[in-house]
């Protein structure tokens, strides 16, 4: 079981590769995982929104999990597997398989189709933790789950599932605020958006699940070093650059019916370079809504120039 300190820094939140026949492109995906490990990323995570957990069959989940664990193990890089589903048994089946495959952690959101009511929240995480066999648990906090957990609920989850080690605190959730992050970080590692490090790093934020780290690995890994050194002036300057990048991305996808996974596919995963040179990989198709969202070539080219400018 990984310690609390393992959940630090920018973990690569990987997309999944699908081929032209809508099948898992294992060769491409394994190469992407390997490149993230070679770049020195603190961890690799798949099966969140970017990984399109909501658009894959169980046998595909198994193949993706095996590929992630095997490639990370070759490099000694910890990995977390997203196991979210629309129902408890679906989450538990995925969690049990991730444990069997040898993952270091799982990440789980509340089931999101039928809203989970208050008295069901803690028993849900207790059951998932039991299925994971004591493996480290990360809670994926997102308003897409229709619930925002309170501090008392986080505490109750920690009491019921001591292997609860990290929370990915997305916008409008407790850990994404100054006071919430300060209190929640006393219980678990709090991951926030990398553009929030300057504000939330001083109150306990420990890292992020990131796509930027494979868009521009040198930039983000260097920025994380500044966070660890508490050089907040430099960190703030870096997060301003990230906010400009995100504003550019938002402008490009506005009105194009593109969502998270399409945005993450703007950036290619490249090998560790002395400098983060924009070098986009072949666009990888999306599963979501009939592959809605491969960004047009001109958008990808402009994105590459924008990423280059943040160095």
Contacts of 162 (CB under 8 A, 6+ apart): none
pTM: 0.88
Query: Is a pLDDT exceeding 60 seen at residue 100?
Result: yes
Average pLDDT over residues 129-133: 96
Q: What local confidence, expressed as pLDDT, does residue 50 receive?
A: 87
Query: Is a pLDDT exceeding 90 seen at residue 293?
Result: no
Query: Is a pLDDT exceeding 60 seen at residue 307?
Result: yes
Of 66-80, 232-246, 265-279, the range with the lowest mean pLDDT is 265-279
Q: What is the pLDDT of residues 197-248, one digit of tens each?
A: 999 999 999 999 998 888 888 899 999 999 999 999 999 999 999 998 888 8
CA dist 212 and 282 (Å) reads: 17
Token pair for residue 211? 């796509």
Instruction: Tell me the average pLDDT of the chain.
Output: 86
| Confidence at 290, pLDDT banded by 50, 70, 90 | very low
Question: Which has more pLDDT, 287 or 17?
Answer: 17
pLDDT above 70 covers a percentage of the chain that reads 79
Q: Which domains are delineated in the chain?
A: 7-229 (3.20.20.70)
CA dist 218 and 272 (Å) reads: 8
């Amino acid at each position: 079981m990984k310690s609390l300190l393992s959940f630090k820094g920018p973990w690569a939140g990987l997309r999944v590769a699908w081929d032209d026949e809508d099948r898992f492109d294992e060769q491409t995906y394994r190469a992407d995982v390997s490149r993230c490990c070679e770049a020195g990323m603190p961890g690799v995570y798949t099966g969140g929104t970017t990984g399109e957990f909501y658009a894959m069959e169980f046998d595909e989940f198994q193949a993706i999990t095996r590929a992630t664990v095997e490639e990370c193990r070759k490099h000694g890089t910890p990995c977390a597997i997203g196991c979210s589903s629309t129902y408890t048994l679906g989450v538990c089946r995925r969690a049990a398989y991730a444990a069997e495959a040898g993952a270091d952690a799982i990440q789980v959101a509340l089931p999101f189709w039928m809203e989970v009511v208050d008295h069901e929240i803690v028993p849900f995480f207790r059951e998932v933790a039991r299925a994971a066999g004591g493996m480290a648990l990360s809670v994926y906090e997102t308003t897409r789950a229709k619930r925002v957990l309170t501090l008392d609920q986080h505490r109750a989850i920690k009491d019921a599932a001591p292997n609860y080690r990290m929370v990915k605190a997305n916008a409008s959730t407790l850990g994404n605020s100054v006071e919430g992050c300060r209190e929640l970080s006393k219980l678990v590692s709090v991951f926030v958006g990398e553009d929030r490090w300057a504000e939330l790093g001083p109150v306990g934020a420990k890292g992020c699940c990131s796509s930027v780290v494979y868009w521009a690995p040198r930039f983000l890994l260097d920025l994380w070093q500044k966070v660890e050194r508490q050089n907040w002036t430099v960190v703030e300057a870096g997060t301003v650059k990230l906010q400009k990048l995100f504003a550019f991305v938002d402008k490009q996808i506005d009105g194009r019916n593109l969502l998270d996974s399409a945005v993450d596919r703007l950036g290619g995963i490249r090998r560790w370079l002395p400098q983060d040179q924009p070098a986009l990989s072949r666009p990888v198709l999306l599963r979501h809504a009939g592959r809605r969202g491969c960004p047009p070539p001109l958008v990808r080219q402009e994105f590459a120039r924008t990423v280059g400018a943040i160095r």
